[in-house]
Structure 1
Amino acid sequence: MEFKDYYSALGIDRTASDDEVRKAYRKLARKYHPDVSKEPDAEKRMRDINEANDVLRDKEKRAAYDALADRVARGGHPEGDFQPPPGWDAGFEFHRGPNQGPADHAEFSEFFSSLFGEAERRGAARRNYRARGEDHHAAIEIALEDALNGAEREITLRAQELDAQGRPTLKTRTLSVKIPPGVHPGQFIRLAGQGMPGHGGEPAGDLYLEVRIAPHRLYRIEERDLYMTLPVTPTEAALGAQVKVPVPTGGVVEVTVPRNARSGLKLRLKGRGLAGKQAGDLYLLLEIALPPADNEAARKAYEQLAQASASFNPRQHLGV
């Protein structure tokens, strides 16, 4: 099969404008139309002219044909043994006119069929295809306060969509999202109909937003439970105390630090975590904060403590 030069068939240059393509076609059609022409090869010439016009008048077909012609010009196909390389039409979609059907191109050449026949069949299949739109997924990061109390936020997403010619393009859109109270990391918020458009009149898909909660200066999250480090002084830990603690939903509560408390002791405030059918808890992890010995009074206090607890060895378990 030989590569066909559609520009030569119409007697025009490759740089010809759309208007020049139309004029060349009309001129040749008047000359070679079988109903009026006296030329012996009029019928064959008219088929070649129609085929060339079908390709060069269509912007997508012409662009794809030109790109393929450049590849052929650079070599890679023996003369008279042309076969379209796989994927040569990637990024192009070919549309039929309103009155064109499969029979309209039935008499075109094998060269035309090898290039555009399958592409047009794929396009027709896409146009007749019916299916619900594809679901999309994205991640959304929210503040802990939004997870606790609920909120409404605007988010901006970038997604690949197909333009009117079927080519992929990156588009940005802004959506309003209602965040329910008690949402937790890894949970999905579903936005119905915000996925990819459906085909053949079918509904659009959904958009699923995976919740991620931004790091908080006080609390960390484990499933529905919250954890906070609670600093206490050595005397509060040793003698016991009532200390004030901020809670995630706002306000302050008073908690009891038991006598002889050690660093790492975990105090539980039931139901003070993330909301849900079974609300999470808030855990306070005690951390003994030592006052600095940066003045005479503090140094004397540490010396007195050392004397009073001379028998205490915090490294006894190490065996040294």
Structure 2
Amino acid sequence: MDYKDYYKVMGVERSATQDEIKRAYRKLARKYHPDVNKEAGSEAKFKELGEAYEVLKDPEKRAAYDQLGSNWRAGQDFQPPPDWGAGFERRGGMPGDEADFSDFFEALFARSAGGARRAGAGQGGPGAQGMHLRGQDHHAQILIDLEDAYRGATRTLNLRMPEVDAQGHVVTRERTLRVQIPKGVRAGQHIRLAGQGAPGLGEGGAGDLYLEIGFNPHGLYRVEGRDVFIDLPLAPWEAALGAEVNVPTPDGKVALKIPPATSSGRRLRLKGRGIPGATPGDLYVVAQVALPPADTEAARSAYRRLQEDFSSFNPRAALYQGAQS
């Protein structure tokens, strides 16, 4: 069964006061009452409004609904407070109608309410169990530097997080957390901070906070999964004759042999030099041939000598051959 957004049904914000909820219900109930509105679907809409109002008019039931949110299935094992079942008026609006509420409502509330009704009035007296409901999980994103994934780090995170106060209203509070970033994390991975989500109701435990890892843009590296890519500029003679050069990596410099006749775009793999892990990623060095500037007469003369020495060289020959075929 699908999650029902009772605030959307009522046409109010999640921060609406109890008076605003009451006024919204009265307005919509008059509009969709079957005795007034004969359009198809008005009776179903009227019943849906009654269901939403049964929950949102009561601060305790509203708080339970807000805490669960779209994760309502996780909270079906809570214990009902005193007179829980008696609090539902089953307002259908028509004689003899018990307003069959949706499967979502029954799964969320009526299972516990029914138990209270079957147990008799004594269940509502002193000593009855209060409601124990686990708090809702929260989610946020944290951006780290790529180097943090290689070494691990501790970061301070400031979050503005919604919570439900004692009156059932949604409020936003600012929190500061120190987060331990483990070595080997990758983009899209989640770090779970147990008990740092929304507080629970009664003796219900707090929810968890899940932080999704993302990487800050880097001036040198690109990341794909656990693999890391870096563009390496090469002088023409290094690319043509081969060379040994130092390559910067997030974990320090590494010596790399450049094979002769290396062209721009060629990838040279440094195995296991990507983001650490049980199966570490690789670091790919992408060759980019860089031309010396022709900004002096001596430099221009050198290029003219190259032009004469390689007069038969045509870098676009393959393009013409492809066009003819």
**TM-score strictly above 0.5:** yes
SS at match of 2:299: helix
The aligned counterpart of 1:24 is: none
Give the corresponding residue for 1:15.
none
Q: Is the 8 A contact 1:132 1:197 kept in 2?
A: yes
Matching of residues 72-91 of structure 1 within 5 Å: none
Matches within 5 A, 1:111-126: none
Matches within 5 A, 1:134-173: 134-173=136-175
Read off the aligned partner of 1:146 and give its amino acid letter: D
Mapping 1:67-106, distance limit 5 Å: 93=58
Give, in angstroms, the shift of residue 226 of structure 1.
0.7
Give the conservation status (yes or no) of the 8 Å contact 1:92–1:167.
Answer: no
Describe the SS at the equivalent of 2:177. Answer: strand
Q: Residue 134 of structure 1: CA displacement?
A: 2.3
Moved over 3 A (4+): 63-68, 85-95, 127-131
Q: Distance in 2 between matches of 1:131 and 1:238?
A: 69
1:198 Cα deviation (Å)? 2.6
What is the number of equivalent residue pairs in this alignment? Answer: 243
SS in 1 for 2:250: coil
- 1:140 deviates by 0.8
1:242 is aligned, of 241, 244, 255, to 244
Residues in 1 aligned to 2:149 and 2:258: alpha-carbon distance in whole angstroms: 29
CA contact (8 A) 2:234 2:290 kept: yes
User: Which residue matches 2:180?
Assistant: 178
Give the corresponding residue for 2:282: 281
SS at match of 1:319: helix
Q: CA deviation at 1:305?
A: 0.9
Residue 272 of structure 1 and its aligned partner are, at CA, apart by 1.4
- Cα deviation for residue 93 of structure 1 reads 3.9
Matched, 1:256 2:257: yes
Structure 2 residue aligned with 1:230:
232
CA distance in 1, matches of 2:210, 2:313: 58
Q: In structure 1, how many angstroms separate the alpha carbons of the residues matched to 2:199 and 2:59?
A: 21
* Residues 156 and 179 in structure 2, CA contact (< 8 A), matched pair in contact too: yes
Aligned 8 A contact 1:139 1:211 in 2:
yes
In structure 2, do the counterparts of structure 1 residues 129 and 297 end up closer, same or farther at CA, with 3 Å as the change threshold? Answer: same
- Distance change (3 Å), C-alpha of 1:170 and 1:308: same
User: Is the contact between residue 160 and residue 169 of structure 1 (CA under 8 Å) also seen in structure 2?
Assistant: yes
Deviation of residue 196 (structure 1)?
A: 2.1
CA RMSD of aligned residues (A): 4.0
Change (3 A) 1:272 1:92: same
| Pair 1:194 & 2:202 matched | no
Partner-residue secondary structure (3-state), 2:149: helix
Q: How does 1:268-307 map to 2 (within 5 A)?
A: 268-307=269-308
Q: TM-score, normalised by structure 1?
A: 0.63
Per the alignment, do residues 319 and 129 of structure 1 end up closer, same or farther by CA in structure 2, a change over 3 Å counting?
Answer: same
C-alpha separation between the residues in 1 aligned to 2:58 and 2:249?
Answer: 59
Q: Which residue of 2 aligns with 1:219?
A: 221
Q: Assess if the C-alpha contact under 8 Å between 2:21 and 2:57 holds in 1.
A: no
Residue of structure 2 equivalent to 1:308: 309
Shift of 1:65: 10
Structure 2: which 5+ runs fail to align? 1-16, 37-45, 61-81, 88-108, 114-128
CA distance 1:220–1:65, shift in 2 (3 Å): closer
| Aligned-pair identity (%) | 47
Q: Which amino acid aligns with 2:190?
A: F
Could you say if the C-alpha distance between residues 245 and 158 of structure 1 is closer, same or farther in structure 2, counting changes exceeding 3 Å?
A: same
Cα distance per residue 1:77-122 (max 9 Å; x no partner): 9xxx9x9x86679965457xxxx979x99xxxxxxxxxxxxxxxx8
